[in-house]
């Protein structure tokens, strides 16, 4: 069992795989008990596009992810405070995990200036300046009321070519963790996870993990991956990072959600995943299914007269109720009637 001092998380391993590092566990959070390994759908701005909270409950989704940077901009801390936090704001009574805003250092790099103080962003909405410090990130996440908050980390794209930048980032991530911990006075109410950085260098990853594990925290994350690196390299770094973290606490691999990666990385000892891939893929006309090759591109003409279920083996409400033809028509309607937006964006769900 893993529980930090005054932690709002209890992690209980139920079973371990006899041939891999995979394990099954129960993670008890303030708003739900989450079975792991778990995939967390992403509702960047407090909503999972195309699904109501009640539909997520019917799918037995126990935890979802939202984004601190975007929610801090819109609707803003004052509105969230008046609403009583994001749970009340969006009508969701199960667990929430919030990204700290660190990923926007990659996705909005052209709009960001990174210093030891924090990250000075130019708002993608109105061009105004916004300084996101470790303290400010925790303040926003506390107002959101997330069950699991992420530290603000210094994120560098894994394919970046400057080794000095990775060295700077992993040391700054540890310093920023300490600032986040100081700004987080209620670990009995909300959990704070640090994030292992170090690019594609195994020794840098091990060293960063060694520094982070000296802090009393209820769980850990692995960040800075899934940015275009070779698959074998990605899996190798995940394996090294996961092996460097305690067996008694949950391990979260950030931004990973492709089917094969969920299987492989679970076998490498990862417990938690998130990614926009499944919901974004569905919105653009491709259904993920169990049979090879793992997806059906419903925009193809062959499905325009197909009255069979999207996936006859799936018991979700869509596959049980609607045909492939209906999905084709709905996707066409969306394509014709969804307005085009210009301007900057990061990773909306």
223 phi and psi angles, rounded to 5 deg: -120, 180
Contact yes or no for 16/22 (Cβ under 8 A): yes
The catalytic residue positions are 99, 274
**Are the beta carbons of 134 and 151 closer than 8 angstroms?**
yes
- Buried b / exposed e over 58-74, threshold 16 CB at 10 Å, is eeebbbbbbbbbbbbbe
In angstroms, the CA 70 to CA 108 distance is 12
Burial class (CB in 10 A: 0-12, 13-18, 19+), 277: buried
Q: How many residues are listed for the chain in this entry?
A: 349
Burial of 132 (0-12, 13-18, 19+ CB in 10 A): buried
Alpha-carbon distance 96 to 196, whole Å?
A: 21
Q: What stretches of 171-250 adopt beta strand conformation (E)?
A: 191-193, 195-196, 220-222
Q: Is 96 exposed, middle or buried (0-12, 13-18, 19+ CB in 10 A)?
A: buried
Distance, in Å, from the CA atom of 31 to the CA atom of 189, rounded to the nearest integer, reads 11
Residues ≥6 apart with Cβ < 8 Å to 333: none
* Nearest-angstrom CA–CA distance, 287 and 267: 25
Q: Distance (Å, rounded) from C-alpha 171 to C-alpha 177? A: 10
- What angle in degrees, to the nearest 10, is found between the helix axes of 134-144 and 163-182? 50
């Amino acid at each position: 069992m893993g529980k930090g001092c005054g932690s709002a998380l209890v992690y209980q391993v139920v079973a371990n795989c006899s041939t891999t590092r995979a394990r099954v566990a129960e993670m008890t959070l303030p708003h739900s008990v989450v079975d792991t390994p778990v995939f967390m759908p992403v509702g960047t701005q407090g909503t999972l596009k195309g699904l109501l909270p009640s539909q997520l409950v019917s799918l037995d989704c126990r935890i979802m992810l939202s984004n601190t940077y975007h929610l801090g901009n819109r609707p803003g801390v004052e509105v969230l405070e008046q609403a009583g936090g994001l749970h009340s704001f969006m009508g969701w009574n199960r667990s929430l995990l919030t990204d700290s805003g660190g990923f926007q250092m990659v996705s909005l790099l052209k709009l960001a200036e990174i210093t030891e103080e924090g990250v000075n962003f130019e708002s993608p909405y109105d061009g105004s300046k916004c300084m996101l410090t470790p303290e400010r990130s925790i303040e926003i996440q506390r107002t959101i009321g997330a069950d699991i908050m992420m530290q603000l980390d210094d994120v560098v794209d894994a394919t970046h070519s400057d080794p000095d930048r990775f060295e700077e980032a992993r040391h700054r991530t540890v310093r920023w963790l300490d600032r986040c911990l100081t700004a987080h006075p209620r670990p009995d109410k909300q959990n704070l996870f640090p994030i292992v950085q170090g690019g594609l260098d195994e020794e840098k990853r091990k060293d960063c993990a060694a520094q982070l594990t000296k802090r009393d925290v209820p769980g850990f994350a692995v960040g800075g991956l899934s940015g275009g690196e070779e698959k074998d390299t990605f899996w190798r770094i995940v394996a090294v990072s996961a092996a460097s973290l305690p067996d008694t606490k949950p391990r979260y691999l950030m931004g990973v959600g492709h089917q094969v990666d969920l299987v492989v990385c679970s076998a490498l000892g990862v417990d938690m995943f998130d990614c926009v891939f499944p919901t974004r893929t569905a919105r653009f006309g491709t259904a993920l299914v169990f049979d090879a090759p793992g997806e059906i591109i419903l925009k193809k003409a062959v499905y325009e007269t197909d009255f069979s279920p999207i996936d006859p083996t799936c018991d979700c409400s869509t596959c049980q109720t609607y045909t492939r033809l209906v999905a084709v028509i709905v996707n066409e309607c969306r394509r014709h009637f969804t307005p085009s937006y210009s301007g900057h964006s990061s990773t909306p769900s």
